[in-house]
Structure 1
Amino acid sequence: MVFQGSSTAISHTGKVRSNNQDSGYAGSNLFAVADGMGGHAGGDVASSLAIMRLERLDHPFDSTSAAERELQAAIADAATELIDTVHVKPELAGMGTTVSAMVMVDDYAVIAHIGDSRIYLYRDGALTQITTDHTFVQRLVDSGRITPEEARYHPRRSVLMRVLGDMDPNPELDTFIMPTQDGDRWLLCSDGLSGVVDDPHTAKALGLGLAPGRTADILLKQALDGGAPDNVTIVLVDVGGQHPLFSGTPTIVGSASNPTGIEVPAARSGRSGWLHPNRQAANEPTHFEPAAEFLEELIEEDRRRAKRRRIGWIVGLVVVLALIAALLFAAYSWTQTRYFVGADDDTVVIFQGIQQNIGPISLSTPHEDTEILLADLPSFSRATVERTISARSLADAEAIVVRLRDAAEANG
């Protein structure tokens, strides 16, 4: 059965990249996002080839199992085509692409996924990430070594563990089937959106209930307002709903929308590997797929970084505690330059410090017992002493004592 609902697809180069290596597709039953990688041109070719291979599946299927088999076969064919393309154009060696694709079959969504593009489901006011990123940092999150929030800003967040590339003709895909229902909103996007716009803001935009096109525009604007350091591709699919149904003409965006087909540029001088240090930032690849030995190096580097971070926290804590201790010592030292006259049991005493306590800690100590009896003082002078008399210095306190002694003698 033909999918009943509405959809849109948009793609933007972003504010940093000089070309768009993403591709997106929104058809009658098929919806997909591919985020290319492998240099200025290789990413364009890889994502375009993947979408061109997948768009043949944009038709009704008799069963979800048939759709799942066809998705797996189409993505494997795309991998073979990437390998064949590199044989013809060796300057494109190292290119690859993520793929997140969904085929609607009756009341089910058949999903295939590899890489770090994402598929989300917004249902009943809640946003759920359906796919799992095949990245180095996601492995760290899964093992409990970092938090999802730390993963958003990890320096190795673009290292892919799985990708559709030109090396493996049998890519390891995640495929699964999920029930869907009227009112569901499915969001497929490249990491140009998910890496900039967090889930709460994405959920808020999806929850406005606007048409797919308007909602996608809002999400794109949020990514651009956030700096959009990467290409941004959004495919939004509403199941049923109040908005106009699909028109019958597929929407293809990004590099796959090139009407003349895939244009493979002439070879450039020198090999421009993914980690070449002299590439301009705007043309640098957005993802990396590590070799096994490089992965071990990354894991060891992450251990060292975690150790340095712990040491940094400990050193920082020690410094803060030392500063607090120094401030407390300085404050206490200052209090010991102060004096006041007060009562201790039945005599007048000069105290060193101030008339406050910090919990059980007294900030004053007796400096001199004057042996002037409180009982010998006039009532006013006695009450004043019992309330304490502040002094500017020890000499000032001693002068106060002289006056009190005179008052005691006169009262006697």
Structure 2
Amino acid sequence: MVRSNNQDSAFAGDHIYLVADGMGGHAGGDVASAIAAKAMAELDVPPTGSPEAMTNVLRTAILDTNTKLRSTVRDRPELAGMGTTFTGFIPVEDQLAIGHIGDSRLYLLRDDALQQITKDHTFVQRLVDSGKITEEEAKTHPRRSVLMRVLGDVDSSPQVDTLVVDTQPGDVWLLCSDGLCGYVDDADIEKILRRRSTLQNGVDALIDKSLSHGAPDNVTVVLVETVAAPAVDPGDTLELKQEGRRFAGSAATTEAAMDGTTSTARNRLLSRKRAVRKAPVVEESHFESRVDEYLAELIAETKRRNRRRRLLWAFGGIAVLVAIGGALLVGYQWTQTRYFVGTDDRTVIIYQGVQQNIGALSLYSVAEDTEIPLEDLDGLEQRQVKRTLTAGSLEEARDIVLRLGDTDE
């Protein structure tokens, strides 16, 4: 809803499922993700080895895709700097062979509980892993768009994560670009998946949720459900329903032109009326090759920013204390312009200030001891003096004392 082009690509076949999130903006993020999706879609054939063997197949194909991207940049220099993430898997019997690089994610919903399977290859994730920031702080960190690993012309031999995980009937696997997980909380993703009526309904609801946040980034979702294999009579011929290759995003452009179809729910979802939040400003994802140097630089920058924040808090605290102190001083000075006539239970005394204490600090002191015995006053005057008689000045207080004396005479 913000970007003019779609830098995401996805593929859902019969034997491989994947998402790719391009980087490089108009310089080629959409090209990079489309090349990666179409190259990896060539693995959409029945697996011929164990899950562990298929992870090696995935790794090799991902590295070959990286070579293809670098070759594309050599032929088209204007695409220099383009790159893409990749996250995908190949089901092998009751396990998945997974390949992953970048910050697109794979989630598993099992027994109505959502868990993240892949780990982001980002700067903030490295800070989280090292204990320097929390998961919550990572969501708003100013360097959350910095990728440490991607495919493209930025690295000739990137490090690719591969793993094998078990799956069971009822599992729902979610592949998504960070246009979803970067703006929709995991708790909301889990709630939507638990309430889905169909896989397509779940996809639509997840994308719709991202759009309701203003969709500042492209959002792509692939949902795959594990189902029990049907029992087959050895004498029967099993006929499989083939739905064909299904691309989405940038990779779907040429496919749609060929068969006149589209594989995304974007038009239908955008036609709905919804309350849309103001989209935040999104920094383009970019890759940093000098990981250690960049990490050290950004850690130093974070320390400097924290020092500046502490200094600002310190100066702010001092300013507040000065303001409070000034207000107290002005208030105290005002109290010292006031007087009252009272007693120490022996004589009549003129006090300067107001008859209040702030903790151990007394706001009044003896101005004059008249040496008039309290017992020389009549009962009414004694009660008045004990309750104190206020005065606006020392002269006014003396006049009050004189009147007491006149009354006494």
Between stretches 124-133 and 152-161, larger displacement belongs to: 124-133
Distance 1:252 1:356 in 2: 80
- Within the candidate set 216, 220, 229, 2:216 is matched to 229
Q: Which residue number in structure 2 is paired with residue 362 of structure 1?
A: 362
Contact 1:39 1:285 in 2 (8 A): no
Contact 1:118 1:129 in 2 (8 A): yes
Per the TM alignment, residue 133 of structure 1 is displaced from its structure 2 partner at its CA by 2.0
Greater relative contact order (Cα < 8 A, sep 6+): 1
Instruction: For 1:292-303, list aligned pairs within 5 A.
Output: 292=290, 295=294, 297-303=297-303
Root mean square deviation of aligned Cα: 3.3
Q: Which residue number in structure 1 is paired with residue 37 of structure 2?
A: 51
1:291 aligns with 2:289: yes
Task: Name the CA shift for 1:312/1:140 in 2 (closer, same or farther; >3 Å).
Answer: farther
Contact 1:37 1:285 in 2 (8 A): no
Contact 1:127 1:199 in 2 (8 A): yes
Q: Which residue number in structure 2 is paired with residue 154 of structure 1?
A: 141
1:213 aligns with 2:173: no
Unmatched 5+ stretches in structure 2: 229-240, 258-281
Unmatched 5+ stretches in structure 1: 1-14, 263-283
Task: Name the CA shift for 1:367/1:175 in 2 (closer, same or farther; >3 Å).
Answer: farther
Q: Which residue number in structure 2 is paired with residue 116 of structure 1?
A: 103
- Within the candidate set 56, 59, 62, 1:75 is matched to 62
Contact 2:145 2:283 in 1 (8 A): no
- The TM-score with structure 2 as length reference comes to 0.77
Distance 1:348 1:217 in 2: 87
Aligned residues: 371
Per the TM alignment, residue 256 of structure 1 is displaced from its structure 2 partner at its CA by 0.9
1:90 aligns with 2:77: yes
The residue matched to 1:369 in structure 2 has which SS? strand
The residue matched to 1:364 in structure 2 has which SS? strand
Distance 1:356 1:124 in 2: 67
Task: Name the CA shift for 1:68/1:311 in 2 (closer, same or farther; >3 Å).
Answer: same
Instruction: For 1:197-346, list aligned pairs within 5 A.
Output: 197-239=184-226, 248-260=243-255, 286-292=284-290, 295=294, 297-346=297-346
Distance 2:307 2:190 in 1: 36
Per the TM alignment, residue 72 of structure 1 is displaced from its structure 2 partner at its CA by 1.3
Per the TM alignment, residue 338 of structure 1 is displaced from its structure 2 partner at its CA by 3.4
- Within the candidate set 36, 41, 51, 1:64 is matched to 51
Distance 1:107 1:292 in 2: 40
Q: Which residue number in structure 2 is paired with residue 11 of structure 1?
A: none
The residue matched to 2:9 in structure 1 has which SS? strand
Deviations 1:302-338 (A, max 9, x none): 4433433333333333333333333333333333333
The residue matched to 1:87 in structure 2 has which SS? helix
The residue matched to 2:215 in structure 1 has which SS? coil
Task: Name the CA shift for 1:390/1:89 in 2 (closer, same or farther; >3 Å).
Answer: same
Task: Name the CA shift for 1:223/1:389 in 2 (closer, same or farther; >3 Å).
Answer: farther
Contact 2:32 2:82 in 1 (8 A): yes
1:19 aligns with 2:17: no
Contact 2:341 2:388 in 1 (8 A): yes
Matched residue type, 2:18:
A
Distance 1:315 1:329 in 2: 20
Per the TM alignment, residue 101 of structure 1 is displaced from its structure 2 partner at its CA by 1.6
The residue matched to 2:146 in structure 1 has which SS? coil
1:33 aligns with 2:19: yes
Deviations 1:146-194 (A, max 9, x none): 3333333333221211111124343201222333445544332222223
Task: Name the CA shift for 1:260/1:127 in 2 (closer, same or farther; >3 Å).
Answer: closer
Contact 1:118 1:189 in 2 (8 A): yes
Matched residue type, 1:361:
L
Q: Which residue number in structure 2 is paired with residue 348 of structure 1?
A: 348
Matched residue type, 1:54:
M
Per the TM alignment, residue 109 of structure 1 is displaced from its structure 2 partner at its CA by 3.7
Per the TM alignment, residue 261 of structure 1 is displaced from its structure 2 partner at its CA by 8.8
Contact 1:30 1:103 in 2 (8 A): yes
Between stretches 246-255 and 163-172, larger displacement belongs to: 246-255
Q: Which residue number in structure 2 is paired with residue 179 of structure 1?
A: 166
Distance 2:81 2:181 in 1: 24
Per the TM alignment, residue 340 of structure 1 is displaced from its structure 2 partner at its CA by 3.3
The residue matched to 1:40 in structure 2 has which SS? helix
Per the TM alignment, residue 392 of structure 1 is displaced from its structure 2 partner at its CA by 4.2
The residue matched to 1:229 in structure 2 has which SS? coil
Per the TM alignment, residue 239 of structure 1 is displaced from its structure 2 partner at its CA by 4.3
The residue matched to 2:308 in structure 1 has which SS? helix
